[in-house]
A = this chain, B = another copy of it.
Amino acid sequence: MSLPNHFELLATDGSARAGKLITPHGMVRTPAFMPVGTAGAMKGVHWREVREAGTDIALGNTYHLMLRPGADRIADLGGLQKFTGWNRPMLTDSGGFQVMSLADLRKVSENAVTFRSHIDGTKVELSPERSIEVQRLLGSDIAMQMDECVRLPAERADIERAMRLSLRWAERSRRAFEIAPAGYMLFGIVQGGDVPELRRISARATVDIGFHGYAIGGLAVGEPQPVMLSMIEEIVPHLPAERPRYLMGVGTPDDLLEAIGRGIDMFDCVMPTRNGRHGVAFTRYGQINLRNARHADDPRPLDATSDWPATRETSRAYLHHLVKSGETLGAMLLSEINIAYYQRLMHHIRTAISQRSFSKFYQLTRAQWAQGDIAPR
């Protein structure tokens, strides 16, 4: 029993794809980058700026939201989209990954993960069924199956155990999702670490269960980029062409470009906001560290050719001063500038794919990054 498909492929160029995904809260253009609003807020960025930057869909973290303010409360308030005022598509993770990285005293069993909340120490149980229920209460346009993700490097036996558990949880997640209203989606997650054989097994079995879309989990967790890219190459041929493909937790602009060239449609990452808080801007000239003293007297903007006002109009000298002074406004401006850069990159990639000029765009973009920042004054 195949789930309905809400994804439409509009163009392909080599392995790169451009498409659109229809969700209950609106349309998502792919390739899509989802900025991360962990606890229902983007750190340092207003939702209106997230939208104006060109964002179609944002990510919320189930683990944080179920602990505070609570899934029932968000349901009563009309769902995460309405609660936050974002009012547009949202994807939520299953909570499993965050339990592993944030909660105390976690214990994984066949049935569920139990843990203590990092906020108030309450003991909480998260099973695949509960994760799906929480994501339904949150009103996620796209829910994720619960899985277990292993940090790399890891032993093959550990990777395989987690992958097999994730498959059993995939089936339970899928069953639990059956009562979801029409239009809402559930994505399965391919696991298997850096072991090609396990990735193939996981991909085939996950597709056999059948989901609205397919995610690749357990990458960007410590492995070098070439390992990540070769895993994508192992997995993608086993995924149905007509369904969206989401690479979880990735990445740098370079990662995005490479993964899109290998057939990925969706991404999420905290990097634009996290690097922004650390004084780093993503630009067409590559990453720029505003802490560097070379910017202290530089009246030029980060990129005079950008169509994003903060990127084009704010001087490097001012950004340097804000970052050095620890002013919130520095983190706010750089986070916004970075989200805008990511969304402009995605926009240009979508256009390039539609015009079948992706490899030309790929080369030009990489050449510009490699050239580095404009010369100091």
Chain A residues within CB distance 8 Å of chain B: 39-46, 64, 68-69, 73, 76-78, 83-85, 296-297, 299, 313-315, 317-318, 320-322, 324-325, 327-333
Q: List residues of chain B with CB within 8 A of the CB of A296.
A: 69, 73
The 10 closest A-B pairs by CB, nearest first: A41-B329, A41-B327, A69-B321, A44-B328, A39-B325, A77-B317, A77-B299, A43-B328, A41-B322, A83-B318
**Are A40 and B328 touching (Cβ within 8 A)?**
no
Q: List residues of chain B with CB within 8 A of the CB of A41.
A: 322, 325, 327-330
Say how far A57's CB is from chain B's closest CB, in angstroms.
18
Identify A325's interface contact among B45, B68, B76, B318, CB under 8 A: B68
Q: List residues of chain B with CB within 8 A of the CB of A83.
A: 315, 317-318, 321
**Are A43 and B327 touching (Cβ within 8 A)?**
yes
Say how far A281's CB is from chain B's closest CB, in angstroms.
16
Say how far A107's CB is from chain B's closest CB, in angstroms.
26
Q: List residues of chain B with CB within 8 A of the CB of A43.
A: 327-329
Report the bound CA distance from A40 to B331 in whole Å: 14
**Are B328 and A77 touching (Cβ within 8 A)?**
no
Say how far A133's CB is from chain B's closest CB, in angstroms.
20
**Are B39 and A332 touching (Cβ within 8 A)?**
no
**Are B44 and A315 touching (Cβ within 8 A)?**
no
Identify A44's interface contact among B320, B324, B329, CB under 8 A: B329
Say how far A326's CB is from chain B's closest CB, in angstroms.
9
**Are A318 and B40 touching (Cβ within 8 A)?**
yes
Q: List residues of chain B with CB within 8 A of the CB of A42.
A: 329
Say how far A300's CB is from chain B's closest CB, in angstroms.
11
Given contacts A77-B317, A315-B77, A317-B69, contact A329 B46 (CB under 8 A): yes
**Are A68 and B328 touching (Cβ within 8 A)?**
no
Say how far A311's CB is from chain B's closest CB, in angstroms.
12
**Are A318 and B44 touching (Cβ within 8 A)?**
no
**Are B76 and A297 touching (Cβ within 8 A)?**
yes
A73 and chain B: residue at smallest CB distance: B297
Q: List residues of chain B with CB within 8 A of the CB of A329.
A: 41-46
Chain B CB count within 10 A is highest, among A41, A76, A333, for: A41
